[in-house]
Amino acid sequence: MHRGGAVRRGARALLPVAAVLAGGLLARPLPAQAVPRGTVDTLTFWSQALGTQKRAIVWLPPGYATQPARRFPSVYYLHGLWGSETDWTKQGRLDATLDSLTAAGLPEMVVVMPDGDDGWYTTWNRLFDISVCRREFKPRPGDDTDASYCVPWPHYDDYIAHDLVTAVDRRYRTVASRAQRAIAGLSMGGYGALTMALQYPEVFRAAASHSGVVSPAYTGAHPFDGVPRYAQSDAALRESWGDRMWPLIAPAFGADTAAWYARDPLRRAQRLAATRRDLVPAIFLDCGTEDGLIDQSRVLRAELTRLGFAPAYAEWPGKHDWDYWRVHARESLAWLAQQVAVR
């Protein structure tokens, strides 16, 4: 999944983002001592869907402390495979980006960065032996998440959309409404953001994916030639993901095309469009031009456009790494802030 010019943009779709940035956000950075800073908090809560305690890092905007009667929109940022709840602050420096953008005029939001293990933000196709998981799990140095990593019930979608959202709305002064709640993520987290916004449209108004696994069954041409082609057999799925990645995704997605299609963002968008078209979330997609996952974003963009839901879309030079995500998180933040702004 970590596979690897000119910039391509959906000009109309990204004009609002470009206008916000050009209009002041980052145009004139303030001196470090003049930037009002948000507060980084840690939320620990019980997840009934997973059957364990989980944690999330929460960035509270400067106005949270100075305006005690005010409630704020909330945006959730999901990490990728092999990540944790600290990725977006430690590696992505999202808190520093938020401080800078907010000082330059970004509407204030509560930003939540949860621990998603390697769970793909979905209900797994099969349970695993928790005793084996606990025996074989090797935490990174300084990481104490082994007790919460091996969960008895891998319902990672319900965990985010229900348990985490409820815990955040109870603990912080957020607006407990779909209209002012959105979700984003990178790589595995990009998949999770899109699928959860489509599965729980009453919870999330908008979703953004950076370099996401957003067309996981795509097996067509590279570069994408405009003709979406998907795996038609279990063997084709396994071949497309390879021996290294298959064991990391098959337990969650399943080993057959029916299970994969049930979890596919496009199929979920099609089902939602057929039943509650008014609830289809706004979607933002971007990917680096040197990223091996770029065709997945191109495919989903084409398919959503055919459905009548053209996403905001961008391709910038870059790979599947933090150098790319650190720079371009500002675009998704600006776009999401527009989606959840008070109307």
How many C-beta atoms lie closer than 10 Å to residue 178's C-beta? 18
What is the pLDDT, as a whole number, of residue 343?
59
- 146-151: list long-range contacts, CB under 8 Å, 24+ apart: 147/52, 147/53, 148/50, 148/52, 148/53, 148/54, 148/55, 148/115, 148/117, 149/117, 151/50, 151/51, 151/52, 151/117, 151/119
Distance (Å, rounded) from C-alpha 120 to C-alpha 128?
15
What is the pLDDT, as a whole number, of residue 4?
31
DSSP H helical segments within 161-222, as ranges? 165-171, 188-199
What is the pLDDT, as a whole number, of residue 1?
38
**What strands lie across the sheet with 282-288, from one edge to the other?**
8-9, 312-316, 282-288, 206-210, 181-186, 74-78, 110-114, 52-60, 39-47
What is the pLDDT, as a whole number, of residue 148?
80
Helix then strand then coil, in percent of the chain rounded to 5, is 45, 15, 40
Give the single-character DSSP code of 209.
Answer: E
User: How are beta strands 52-60 and 74-78 bridged, if at all?
Assistant: unpaired
| Cis bond before residue 247 (omega within 30° of 0) | no
pLDDT tens track for 81-103? 999 999 999 999 999 999 999 99
Q: Which two tokens stand for residue 98?
A: 């938020």
Find the largest Cα–Cα distance for the chain: 58
φ/ψ (deg, to 5) at 145: -90, 10
What is the pLDDT, as a whole number, of residue 2?
34
What is the pLDDT, as a whole number, of residue 12?
36
How many C-beta atoms lie closer than 10 Å to residue 43's C-beta? 19
Block mean pLDDT (10 aa), the chain, length 343 = 34 45 50 78 97 97 97 98 96 98 97 97 85 71 65 95 98 98 98 98 98 97 96 96 95 95 97 97 98 98 97 98 98 98 72
H or E segment at 306?
A: helix 294-307
Contact 127, 51 (CB under 8 A): no
Radius of gyration of the chain (CA): 19
| Count of positions (residues) in the chain | 343
Domain limits, the chain: 8-214+251-339
Q: Which two tokens stand for residue 263?
A: 């979890």
- 123-132: list long-range contacts, CB under 8 Å, 24+ apart: 123/154, 123/155, 123/156, 123/157, 123/158, 124/154, 124/155, 124/156, 124/251, 124/252, 125/250, 125/251, 125/252, 125/253, 125/254, 125/255, 125/259, 126/251, 126/254, 127/153, 127/154, 128/154, 128/251
What is the pLDDT, as a whole number, of residue 10?
37
* Homologous superfamily, domain 8-214+251-339: Alpha/Beta hydrolase fold, catalytic domain (3.40.50.1820)
**C-alpha angle 309/310/312, rounded to 5°?**
125
